[in-house]
Amino acid sequence: MILRIISLLFGLFLLSTCQETPRAAADRIRWLPGSTFVEDFTQYSGFLSANDTLNGVTAQFHYWLVMAKQSVQNAPLIVWLNGGPGCSSLSGLFVENGPFRPSQDGKQLNENVYAWNRFSNVLYLESPAGVGFNPQTSTTWDDAKVAQANYFALNDFFTVYPDAGKNGVFLSGEGYASVYVTTLGNVIADNISAGKNTINLQGILIGNGLLSIRKHYNAMIEFSYAKGMNFKEDFDNLTATCCGNDSSPMNCDYYSYDFQNSDCGKMAYAFYTKLQKPEVDPYNIYQECYQLAKNQASANEFYGLELAANYNSSDPFDGFPCFAEDAITNYLQRADVQSEIHVLADQQKPIQWRSCSTLTNYGQQQSGDISIALGRLVNSLIWRQNNLRLLLYNGDLDLSSNHVGAQWFVEALNQQALTNGGDWRFSLNDSLYVGSTGGYYKSFDRQITFATIKGAGHFVPLSRPAQILQLVRNFVTNSTIA
């Protein structure tokens, strides 16, 4: 009898931990059209409420949750945001670190074996309104409103998936999403401090983030010179005119000169102009995408590439980086896909999903520099008490949010360096190989790590999927990076 009661209790316990909330059950994805592989993980897609009564904002944000492939019970949660502002986080899911790679025509879905859900639950959140599948609202968005709305959406998420973040929550973002995760991190930390939230926040990851426009911009001079995109005489003349007696690159502020009316400004402008060519992909200067001779009307908004689909490109991914935008757009505009992921209201009218949308009058309050917001976060009581950690990682072929400026930025946070900087090893986890250099890294106080990924562009998981998986897993599980 006692045994029976115990087993009954046990059974009930199992039932209650495994059971989905009604909203989760409704949002569960049963099968994805075109999939060519067995999806050995659970996934959900639907809408979260981002209502913010304080600011009179009513909004719904679309989310897609992929659960970890293994040991879901112990898996952390990574929240992923793409930037823009205006770009959809589903690009992260389909083109970067998610388990899918659509074919160019959108008919098939192939597997990305280096998906981050190999070890973590990953929540892809489309933000704010008007982006991706998110319905348009009358709100004029700015950084602060986005932080609030993301916070409310995340709270709503935890009412639907109360266990998804119990092993730790990491906020991650790329490009402009550096602003989203930093401001959201502050809102969460403030609310935890005030006893108003119990989100188990453990860290922040920023990939090729917009950290300081001024620093990235100034660093483009050194970056392009070092990569052979500009030449010595130009460089010497530029520094002689602009830097006075102090030619140390960190102190030479080209950004402060008037481009039209000062000698330095005019020279710097000419220098930058040489970098702005359609065939130079600012997000990955080594990317090769051959352009079609005809029909170049629609430029690729997200990747900085033309809509060229060329399997004959010499890039190592059969041209995927070149036609990724086509692929994801074709796939997500399918009515059967939209129906399966619970975003389609009218079967006759599939939504014109776009990877990036224009947000009119978006207010950028961080003035292109997140050092104040990030400094506030890493010096907060919650950060120090709970040993939170920060990873700033940069693909080293990205001219836009380049690693040189990122390095200047992290040094300027004025945290004590714990290491001198060195390489981290990428291991194929196979006794035959000793591994290779994945990139370089340096650690600082407040559990801050700066790391580069060798040979990666702005979209690191697109160009170095295995390397960034290893780096992120080591960071999230608090293992050594090296």
Is the Cβ of residue 273 or residue 312 nearer to ligand NAG in the bound state?
Answer: 312
Say how many residues touch ligand NAG, by CB under 6 A: 22
Residue whose structure tokens are 């005019």: 266
| Residue 456: both structure tokens together | 């990666």
Is the Cβ of residue 278 or residue 435 nearer to ligand NAG in the bound state?
Answer: 435
Residue whose structure tokens are 């919650």: 382
Give dist(CA 185, CA 182) in Å, integer. 5
Name which of residues 240 to 259 contact ligand NAG (CB under 6 A).
Answer: 244-245
Q: Is the C-alpha dihedral spanning 408, 409, 415, 419 positive or negative?
A: negative
State yes or no: residue 151 binds ligand NAG (CB under 6 A). Answer: yes
Is the Cβ of residue 308 or residue 356 nearer to ligand NAG in the bound state?
Answer: 308
Q: Going by C-beta distance under 8 Å and a sequence separation of 6 or more, which residues neighbour residue 346?
A: none
State yes or no: residue 234 binds ligand NAG (CB under 6 A). Answer: yes
| Crossing angle of the two packed helices 213-226 and 263-273, in degrees rounded to 10 | 60
Which part of the chain contacts ligand NAG (CB under 6 A), choosing from 107-115, 159-167, 232-240, 454-462? Answer: 232-240
State yes or no: residue 311 binds ligand NAG (CB under 6 A). Answer: yes
Name which of residues 397 to 436 contact ligand NAG (CB under 6 A).
Answer: 429
Give dist(CA 284, CA 160) in Å, integer. 38
Q: Is 7 exposed, middle or buried (0-12, 13-18, 19+ CB in 10 A)?
A: exposed
Q: Distance of CA 451 to CAs 203, 221, 229, 296, Å? A: 15, 21, 24, 36
Would you give the binding string for ligand NAG spanning residues 34-53, x where CB under 6 A is met?
Answer: ---------------x-x--
Q: Distance of CA 107 to CAs 1, 30, 33, 328, Å? A: 57, 18, 8, 10
State yes or no: residue 345 binds ligand NAG (CB under 6 A). Answer: no
The C-alpha R_g of the chain, in whole angstroms, comes to 23
Which part of the chain contacts ligand NAG (CB under 6 A), choosing from 104-112, 214-222, 307-315, 365-373? Answer: 307-315
Is the Cβ of residue 41 or residue 350 nearer to ligand NAG in the bound state?
Answer: 41
One-letter amino acid for residue 428 of the chain: L
State yes or no: residue 312 binds ligand NAG (CB under 6 A). Answer: yes
State yes or no: residue 17 binds ligand NAG (CB under 6 A). Answer: no
Which part of the chain contacts ligand NAG (CB under 6 A), choosing from 100-108, 185-193, 298-306, 334-342? Answer: 185-193
Choice from 2, 194, 345, 434 touching ligand NAG (CB under 6 A): 194
Residues that bind ligand NAG (CB under 6 A): 49, 51, 54, 58, 148, 151, 187, 190-191, 194, 196, 233-234, 237, 244-245, 310-312, 387, 429, 478
